[in-house]
Chain A
Amino acid sequence: MVDLLQVSGLTKRFGGLVAVNNVSFTVREKEILAVIGPNGAGKSTLFKLIASFLRPTSGEVLFKGERISDLAPHIAARKGIVRTFQETTIFKNMSVRENVIIAHHLRSKANLLGFFLGTKLAKADEQAFGTSADEILEFLGLSAISSEIAKNLPHGHLRALGIAIGLATNPTILLLDEPFAGMNHDETMKAVAMVRRLRERGLTVLLVEHDMPAVMKISDRIVVINFGEKIAEGTPAEIQSNAKVIEAYLGSEDEAIGL
């Protein structure tokens, strides 16, 4: 397998606080890699660094060998690294379908003036986005609610919509921020199946997550972060038996690591 994303020596300081300290790992093509760690371990910061929402203090992120660490988020998205959000970050006052259609923005061939004038290119875009949005909604089982206003959706659907928005940008690598947070067991199982299908679609998935059983079930490899540093990396089986990891989660190892 090819290394798609290389994180090397990534460090982020906020004043005196070192949120991420010299973290390195790689993400291979078409794998599902999970980043886990206790609360406040620096997962979210790491996530934002990879998606170019933050600039690293030192170190870099290479995507297909090219440095992406200093790019604006929309440029990183254009290159194929797209993130979803932890909380229910969606366009609240648009319908589900509109949310997904607008997320096709990256694929548009017409420019702003073209949209305004309603050129042939812009109309062709609209047509294509509509079709593609319907396909994505179908894929994620959201067709039935496509005309609902997003803010009225239940939690599980919102998470799926977040993923639909991510998919619409046609990413190479999709970064999922806590995709299973706040879900009950059934919802989590459905979401796990959904993430697997993302990979079957040809995507590489990097996820940051708390829910250990789900992570163990879904990941090809796991990176464990504690106090901003990488303490372990390996397959779910290796991680479950790693002494450092157990120590980091000490006191709640049974439920937390899913043993």
Chain B
Amino acid sequence: MTRVAKAASISAFLAVVFILVPVLIIATGRTDLYYTLTSVALLSIASAGVWLTFFIGRINIGQGAYALMGGYVSAILVVNYGVSFWLTLPLAGLFCAAASILIGYPILRLRGVYFAMVTLVLTEVARLLALALPITNGAKGMVSIPLPGALSIFGVTIIPNFAGMQSPRLAFYLLAVTMMVLCFAAMYRLVNSRIGKLCQSLQQNEELASSIGVNIAYLRVIAYAISSFFGGVAGAIFAAISQSIYPSSFTVTDSINFMLNCFFGGLGYVFGPMLGTLVLYFGWDLLFQTGKFQLLIYSTLMIVLMLFLPNGLLSLGDLLRKRGSNNG
């Protein structure tokens, strides 16, 4: 893509998510879509983290653990210590990143299905911890978390108090989408910088990577920490929107869904998890009308897609382009 085309598509995307979507929702009165799209944006942030671990050649089914952790960190700080939500947002991310460094250092040595299994267990461990620890309030969870207050820096109010708003839904939507844009912009930069090449070198051959002087253990942990940071941030915003968090807020199913979002969108494309989350989330809702066949149709479609488009939805574009150039 040329520079101009790139700038044009970025502006078009920003215009759609920040202007067109809210305008359409207000025009049609379908304010329920705010919540749906906010969820998509947040889930895609968590999925982006999973994508990043795929990018270093690890199957991560443990993102739910970090989303849960992030949610609790934010909730506990806001409820028990009266910390501003805006401060807890980066803190939740950093807490998850720190935890993932401790957890990741030993387990990232594992490869393939072994790493996947350990991360799967991680989600369950996080849930059980949330049930057992005194600070997380057990099965009752943390409820009535206050809405985010105003954010002001040097006396200038940057973000108004959510509680005083006419439509906090719109505010949450804008917050989630902004975070999504920031997160994917960072990922895009990461992947297209030299770090991306280093990650690919890990994915393709760890032994060779270390023989050319790449500190593979360090790089793996860094990538995993960034991945968990995304999970934590997404979890923290989720807790703020639903004003509650329970041990069952993020379960193994969520962890698996994060992974499926990546597969569905395409593991070779930075924006794969975003598209995957959008399509799968809405696809699942659309299939709701089929009643008891919902899961059956959903799973069948997933299998068909993985058989015929193993590189995800976004690979369709590449295939068509190739066909076009062959015919031309």
Q: Write the residues of chain A forming the contact surface with B, with a CB cutoff of 8 angstroms.
A: 51, 53, 72-74, 77-78, 82-85, 89-94, 98, 101-103, 105-106, 108, 112, 115-116, 118, 122, 125-126, 165-166, 168-169
Q: How long is the Cα–Cα vector from A106 to B214 in the complex, in angstroms?
A: 7
In angstroms, Cα B207 to Cα A90, docked, is 10
Distance (Å) between the CB of A164 and the closest chain B CB?
Answer: 11
A115 to B193, CA, bound (A): 6
Q: Is the CB of B212 within 8 A of A105?
A: yes
Q: Which of B81-89, B126-134, B195-203, B286-294 contacts A (4 or more CB under 8 A)?
A: B195-203
Instruction: Judge if B106 is at the interface, Cβ distance under 8 Å.
Output: no
Which residues of the partner chain A approach B216 to less than 8 Å between Cβ atoms?
A: 74
Decide yes or no whether B327 CB sits under 8 A from chain A.
no
Contact of A102 among B198, B215, B222 (CB under 8 A): B198
Q: Is B208 an interface residue (CB 8 A)?
A: yes
Report chain A residues within 8 Å CB of B328.
Answer: none
Query: Once the chains bind, are A105 and B208 in contact (CB under 8 Å)?
Result: no
B210 in contact with A85 (CB, 8 Å):
no
Task: Please state if B200 and A169 are interface contacts (CB–CB under 8 Å).
Answer: no
Decide if the interface of chain A is mainly helix, strand, loop or mixed.
helix
Q: Which of B190, B197, B213, B214 contacts A116 (CB 8 A)?
A: B190
Q: A53-B211, A73-B211, A94-B197 are in contact. List 5 more A-B contacts (CB 8 A).
A: A74-B211, A78-B213, A112-B222, A118-B189, A122-B193
Q: In this complex, which of B205, B207, B208, B217 has the most chain A Cβ atoms within 10 angstroms of its Cβ? A: B208
> Could you give 13 example pairs across A and B, Cβ below 8 Å?
A72-B215, A73-B210, A74-B213, A74-B214, A77-B211, A85-B211, A90-B208, A93-B204, A94-B200, A102-B197, A102-B200, A105-B212, A125-B194
User: Which 6 pairs between the two chains have the least Cβ-Cβ distance?
Assistant: A106-B213, A115-B194, A77-B213, A103-B212, A73-B210, A91-B204
Complex CA–CA separation, A64 to B250 (angstroms)? 55
Chain A's nearest CB lies how many Å from the CB of B52? 13
Please measure, in the bound complex, the distance between the C-alpha atom of A182 and the C-alpha atom of B208, giving whole angstroms.
20
Question: Given A74-B215, A105-B198, do A90 and B205 touch, yes or no (CB 8 Å)?
Answer: yes
A168 engages B212 (CB within 8 Å): yes
Q: Is the CB of A122 within 8 A of B194?
A: yes
Contact of B195 among A83, A93, A112, A165 (CB under 8 A): A112
Q: Do A85 and B212 contact each other (CB < 8 Å), given the known contacts A91-B201, A98-B197?
A: no
Alpha-carbon distance A191/B313, docked complex (angstroms): 44
A233 to chain B, nearest CB (A): 26
**Across the interface, do B212 and A116 meet the contact criterion of CB distance under 8 Å?**
no
Partner of A82, one of B195, B205, B212, B214: B212
Q: Which residue of B lies closest to A108 (CB)?
A: B194
B212, A89: Cβ atoms under 8 Å? no
Count how many chain B residues have C-beta atoms less than 8 Å from C-beta atoms of the other chain. 23
Given contacts A92-B204, A116-B193, contact A106 B212 (CB under 8 A): yes
CA of A84 to CA of B210, assembled, Å = 11
Bound-complex Cα distance A72 to B222 (A): 18
Instruction: Report the minimum CB–CB distance from A30 to chain B (whole Å).
Output: 22
Chain A residues lying within 8 Å of B207, measured Cβ to Cβ, are: 53, 85, 89
When the two chains form the complex, which single residue of B194, B205, B219 contacts A126, counting CB atoms closer than 8 Å?
B194
Residues of chain A within 8 A of B198, CB atoms compared: 102, 105
Given contacts A74-B216, A91-B208, A106-B213, contact A116 B200 (CB under 8 A): no
Report the Cα distance A91→B201, complex, angstroms.
6
> Are B205 and A72 neighbours in the complex by a CB distance under 8 Å?
no
Q: How far is the CA of A86 from the CA of B205 in the complex (A)?
A: 14
Using Cβ atoms and an 8 Å threshold, which residues of chain B touch A73?
A: 210-211
Most B CB atoms within 10 A — which of A74, A98, A125, A126? A74
Minimum CB–CB distance from A206 to chain B (whole Å) comes to 14
A82 to B207, CA, bound (A): 12
Contact of A77 among B201, B204, B212 (CB under 8 A): B212
Cα A166 to Cα B211 in complex, Å, equals: 8
Q: Which residues of A contact B213 (CB under 8 A)?
A: 74, 77-78, 82, 105-106, 169
A112 to B214, CA, bound (A): 11
Whether the pair B201, A118 counts as a contact (CB closer than 8 A) is no
A83 and B211 in contact (CB under 8 A), knowing A115-B193, A115-B194? yes
Chain A contacts for B194, CB-based, 8 A: 108, 115, 122, 125-126
CB contacts (< 8 Å) of B195 on chain A: these are 112, 115-116
Cα–Cα distance between A83 and B214 once the two chains are bound (Å): 13
Enumerate chain A residues within 8 angstroms of B214, measured Cβ to Cβ. 74, 105
- Which chain B residues border A101 with CB–CB below 8 Å? 197
Q: Identify the interface centre among B204, B217, B222: most chain A CB within 10 Å of its CB.
A: B204
Other-chain residue from B197, B201, B211, B222 in contact with A51 (beta carbon distance below 8 A): B211
Complex Cα–Cα for A144 and B226 (A): 39
Contact check, B211 vs A82: say whether CB atoms are below 8 A apart: yes
- CB contacts under 8 Å to A, within B229-276, are none
Q: Please report the C-alpha to C-alpha distance between residue A73 and residue B201 in the assembled complex, in whole angstroms.
A: 15
Please determine whether A72 and B212 come into contact, CB atoms closer than 8 angstroms: no
- Smallest CB-CB separation from A85: which chain B residue? B208
